[in-house]
Every structure is written in structure tokens, then in C-alpha cells.
Amino acid sequence: MAFHQLLIRDEQSVRFITINREEKLNALNQTILAELHGALTEALADNRVRGIVLTGAGKKAFVAGADIAEFAAFDAAQGLRLARDGHRNVFDLIHHAGKPILAAINGYALGGGLELALACHLRIAVPNARLGLPEVTLGLIPGYGGTQRLTQLVGRGRALELILTADMITAEKALEYGLVNVVVDQSVLLEKALEILQTIASRSPNAVAAAIRAVNAGLDPSKNGFEVEIEEFSKCFGTADFAEGVSAFLAKRKPNF
């Protein structure tokens, strides 16, 4: 697939996907959403790729939200399609991905931009990043999973504080809330992203995918997370990764997954 609003590059076993619409603060239009679907699908199917970084072009914004101009004249039916397609094609795809996806938040992460980061498995941010869900200022609510994933991550009280006030918080506050994992300088943001994903890439890919499924199951009301953990745990025993991990440990060498 050819990409017009994404930049794609690989470093070691990590794929970097950069949303490249700097003049509009990387706001998510339909082209970007379709390209993200394509780029993520490709990365997830590519055996050389063991982790994915999502970031925004420039130093000002990760993603300043869904493209407000694009949905300005929408009615309820169009709003329904926008949210449903977005959930299915991008946000749920990220949430359920069997490879770790990390949001490298290089500036504003607002509205759909914060929701994109929330769908990822890990989030790191620069000190001047600003995070928020400003939808209620537009007469909307978050529609790409923000009401659910923010609540799961930081708890109901803090999620409602952010959603109802629409205020942006600093990266430092986001770290305190558990909304981001680490805060690092802009100059080393992508280096840190690579370092984290390379660490995960050195672990069993089968076990990493199973752990994501088990953790996600606990957040899914239609599933019993403990049961899913038991099943996923048991299935690990039949894998080549398990044989390699255990024999490497017993032979006092590093595993080669």
C-alpha cells in the first residue's frame, strides 16, 4: 500500500509509523485513518516486525484530534459510522494487536489523538506534551474509545475530571495519573521507544501476544480474564518459544526467539 500522510520506516525489528500532517497538527482525517489501518495491518502481518511505534510529525503535536473540519456538518447517522468504522479499523486493531504498539507522544495528544495513544499498549511522552479530551467543548463526547480506555487506565474519578472539564494536562501530571509510562526529552523520544520495544522483542513473541490477550480479556465484560489467563498460560507449554526459553535458561544462555 502507498502512504501519502504516513511516513514508515524500520529500525532493527521495530516499525515506526509517523502521522505526517504537521500543518494541521496531525489531525486524523479519513485518509490518515485508512492509511493507519493499512500500515498497521501490514506491520502486524510482517514477521520481521516485533513492535510498532506510532508518533506524529514535527515537535508540536502527536495528534490534535479527529479532523474537526471533516465532521463539522455530520448528522447522527454519519457520526455513528465515523465512530464504528474508526473503532473497528484502527482503535480496536491497535488494542487487540498481538505485537506491542507504543505511542511516542511528541506534543499535543488531544481528542482522537489521546484516544489513539490510549488504544496503544504503552505510552511515552515529551515534557511539553499536553494531553486531553476536549470533545465537550465541541458539544461532543469522545467517540474512539476514550470514555472506556481512559477510565480503565486512570480510574473513573480522574477520567471524568479530564472528560468533563476538557482541560489539558501536562506530561508530568499524565505520568502521575499513570496515563503515560515514561517522560523523556524530545531528543531521545524515539530512541527510548526503540529501547523499550527492543527489550520486548527479545522476549518470546508468542508469550507477549498471549499476555496482551489475557490482559485485554480482563477489560472485556464478555470474557472471564482469569479463565483466559489459564487457557493462554496452558497453551504456552506446547510452543517452540517455551522449549527455547527453558532450554536457554537451563543451559545458562540467552534465549533466541
Catalog residues that contact ligand COA under the rule CB under 6 A: 24-25, 27, 64-69, 108, 110-112, 134-135, 138
Min separation Cβ 153 and ligand COA, Å: 19
Q: Which is nearer to ligand COA, 66 or 200 (CB)?
A: 66
Min separation Cβ 59 and ligand COA, Å: 12
Q: Which is nearer to ligand COA, 65 or 245 (CB)?
A: 65
Min separation Cβ 236 and ligand COA, Å: 41
Cα atoms found within 13 Å of the Cα of residue 41, Cβ hemisphere only = 10
Interatomic CA distance for residues 21 and 25, integer angstroms: 6
Min separation Cβ 80 and ligand COA, Å: 16
- Other beta carbons less than 10 A from residue 172's beta carbon: 13
> Dihedral angle at the C-alpha atoms of 113, 114, 117, 122, nearest 10 degrees?
160
Q: What values do phi and psi take at 72, rounded to 5?
A: -55, -35
Among candidate residues 115, 161, 176, 232, the one labeled active-site is 115
**Residue 115 a catalytic site member:** yes
Q: Which is nearer to ligand COA, 131 or 194 (CB)?
A: 131
Residue 27 near residue 66 (C-beta atoms within 8 A): yes
Among candidate residues 22, 23, 135, 161, the one labeled active-site is 135
Work out whether strand 130-132 and strand 169-170 pair parallel, antiparallel, or are unpaired: antiparallel
Q: Which is nearer to ligand COA, 100 or 134 (CB)?
A: 134
Q: What values do phi and psi take at 14, rounded to 5?
A: -110, 135
Interatomic CA distance for residues 203 and 91, integer angstroms: 25
Min separation Cβ 203 and ligand COA, Å: 36
Chain-centroid distance, C-alpha 219: 16
Residues 6+ apart with CB under 8 A from 230: none
Q: Which is nearer to ligand COA, 2 or 23 (CB)?
A: 23
**Residue 244 a catalytic site member:** no
Q: Which residue numbers are catalytic? A: 115, 135
